Amino acid sequence: MTTLTSPAQTLAQATAQLPLIAILRGLTPAEAPAIGEALVSSGFAIIEVPLNSPEPLRSIAALTSLFPQALIGAGTVLNVQQVNEVHAAGGRLVVAPNFNPAVVAQALALNMVVLPGVFTPTEAFAALDAGAHGLKLFPAEMISPATVKAMRAVLPASAALMPVGSITPDNMAPYRAAGANGFGLGSALYAPGRSAQMVQQQAQAFVRAFKG
């Protein structure tokens, strides 16, 4: 017997396992199976393939087929048409660098998890009011732990705050102490041409740092 879970429940389950999003910018469909295995075997439960990668929809389709237990989708989703394309490829996750109400609405209509990018409390509250399941704080290079603490003080406790941008195993702790719930991990985890073995080593380093 299968039970249908809401997008909010899907995100909660994935973040309970490990609230780290693997951002695979530049991934090719040929690399997807090995890189996906390196991540999932290391404990990762959330994977995004930015749409400015080579043939991203093919990579998303491959990953969702191979790792149905993971929450997989796209990053750099900028319009409604792209939301539809990610859904058609089997993706269940929409991540954006910005807050576009139409993108959030379409993701919700398709029962997808949606994490828009925000930079200010105004954007954060607007995104949550629109139905966002969590918030990508971007770019984290310009959002200090002190800023996260200030935002955490006024935003709902249920709102997941996930800094993205130049996050490494060494700089997560101050953000977590300030109230960040998780992180999006880019080039410190994966970069084009990096072997699956190297990605696995980086993934394990992130897991150790987060749990440590």
Q: Which residues are catalytic?
A: 48, 136
Query: Are 111 and 136 in contact, with CB atoms under 8 Å apart?
Result: no
**Max CA-CA distance within the chain?**
47
Query: Are 76 and 97 in contact, with CB atoms under 8 Å apart?
Result: yes
From residue 42, give the alpha-carbon distance in Å to each of 35, 48, 137, 192, 205: 11, 16, 25, 19, 10
- Encoded tokens for 58: 């093919």
43 backbone φψ class: left, alpha, beta (φ>0; ψ -120 to 50): left
